[in-house]
Structure 1
Amino acid sequence: MAHRIDHEYDYLFKIVLIGDSGVGKSNILSRFTRNEFCLESKSTIGVEFATRTIQIEGKTVKAQIWDTAGQERYRAITSAYYRGAVGALLVYDITKKQTFDNIQRWLRELRDHADSNIVILLAGNKTDLTHLRAVQLEDARSLAEMESLSFLETSALEAVNVDKAFETILTEIYRVVSKKALAAQEAARASVTAPPIQGTTINVSDSTAGKSSGTCCSN
């Protein structure tokens, strides 16, 4: 969903939050959109979404962020919500190795259901619990490089790098969309200013000269 609007905002981008249940997706969403954090937040059932508008390179960009449930039994429901997404924040918990090990499965699902050009950022959440770290920073960086993903570690609790994560995704999406729009404009301009197709000129009057004056026969 990369719509161009003329009034309240210039662009509307749909972003999905994905990852295992309990990694902190809902708190990342609430921290970014409402600057709130709830210690007793429950697992998301189905899908929730919120919005926030930011400025990127002089343009007003509205992010529509969908928080998809991480539990297996809701995956059939949430798969439909990948449609139209131009960005994804793929979240794991740095204190739970299993959530990191499942990143490849989430990437496969994302690439099966989403646009092939979707912008993806890998986020290792809960850096406030670094004393319980189970996923090393170097391992996450290596995976991100291998899969060509942007990467950040975040803390929804302490509001560390949450804004930066979304701003990174939105800026990259904006630049991709702008580049496509510029290319389309240049192609349209080229088709208008292109010279006419050159061909051979045929002078019809020369080839028919002499045929107009003939001998008139009379009885």
Structure 2
Amino acid sequence: MPDLGLDPPELTILLLGDSGVGKSTFLSRLTCGSAKDATTQPLPQLRDLDQPFVFDISLWNRPYRFEFYDTASPTSYSLIRPSVIILCYSIPHRSSLTSVHTRWKYEVETHFNYDESLPVMLLGLKRDLRREGDPEMVIPQEGLRVAQEMRCDRYAECSAVTGELCREVFEDLAKTAAMTTTAKGGKSEPTNCVLM
């Protein structure tokens, strides 16, 4: 039975990563929803000044409000108190994964160390641009290894341009964020890293 008497919990999701890795395109894809023709429609242009990007969803018969911010937020990302952090990199640009491992991991450890139960996901974007044999490309096993080294709770990949795996990433993210409202929290058990 749905819980209709309570205001939905507001959960803040922060996307961190270098400029140009695909964070805005990913958020644009999420605004299209899960309609069958969503992958054929042009992606809407999102403006950084319009953050947060809000999504109201129902999960486990309960409403939730997700507020997405990225590093280009008008509010300094270091002042946001997220429920979940997504570290983003571009699959065809190995340097962006290196940057996640060095710069962005440091940002998480210094600015968001107030809560050890804060779930962190590593997300590879631009999956549609992966080409076999190109040494610049990050293969899934490398992304998963980096996620494990950084002790991320989740690892996933998707293509916002084609829509490939975006729904699955959003569902996994929504479940993780919703779990932060429970006593157990959204952090995964040690040694449990999910590859999607």
**TM-score interval for Structure 1 and Structure 2 normalised by the shorter chain:** 0.7 to 0.9
Which consecutive residues of structure 2, in runs of 5 or more, have no partner in the other structure?
Answer: 34-40, 186-196
In 1: Cα distance, 2:89 partner to 2:50 partner:
18
Partner of residue 123, structure 2:
123
Moved over 3 A (4+): 34-39, 44-47
Q: How many residues align?
A: 168
Corresponding residue to 1:160 among 161, 164, 167: 164
Within 5 Å, give how 1:165-184 maps onto structure 2.
165-179=169-183
Shift of 1:58: 1.5
Structure with greater Cα Rg? 1
1:57 alignment partner in structure 2: 60
Shift of the 6–26 alpha-carbon distance from structure 1 to 2, 3 Å rule, reads farther
Question: Which residue number in structure 1 is paired with residue 78 of structure 2?
Answer: 79
Q: Flag the 1:54–1:137 CA change in 2: closer, same or farther, 3 A.
A: same
Distance 1:37 1:88 in 2: 27
Compute the displacement of 1:161 (Å).
Answer: 2.0
Deviations 1:127-186 (A, max 9, x none): 1112266112111111112223201111000112223223222312322422259xxxxx
The structure-2 alpha-carbon separation of the partners of 1:170 and 1:38, relative to structure 1 and needing over 3 Å to count, comes to closer
Unaligned 5+ segments in structure 1 are 182-219
Matching residue's letter, 2:98:
D
Give distance in 2, aligned partners of 1:62 and 1:171. Answer: 12
**Percent identical:** 24
RMSD of aligned alpha carbons: 2.9
Shift of 1:69: 2.4
1:87 Cα deviation (Å)?
0.6
Contact map agreement 1:93 1:99 (CA 8 A) in 2: yes
> TM-score, length-normalised on structure 2?
0.73
- Comparing both structures, which one devotes a greater share of its residues to helix? 1
Alignment partner of 1:146 is 2:145: no
Higher relative contact order (CA 8 A, sep 6+): 2
Which amino acid counterpart does residue 101 of structure 1 have in structure 2? T
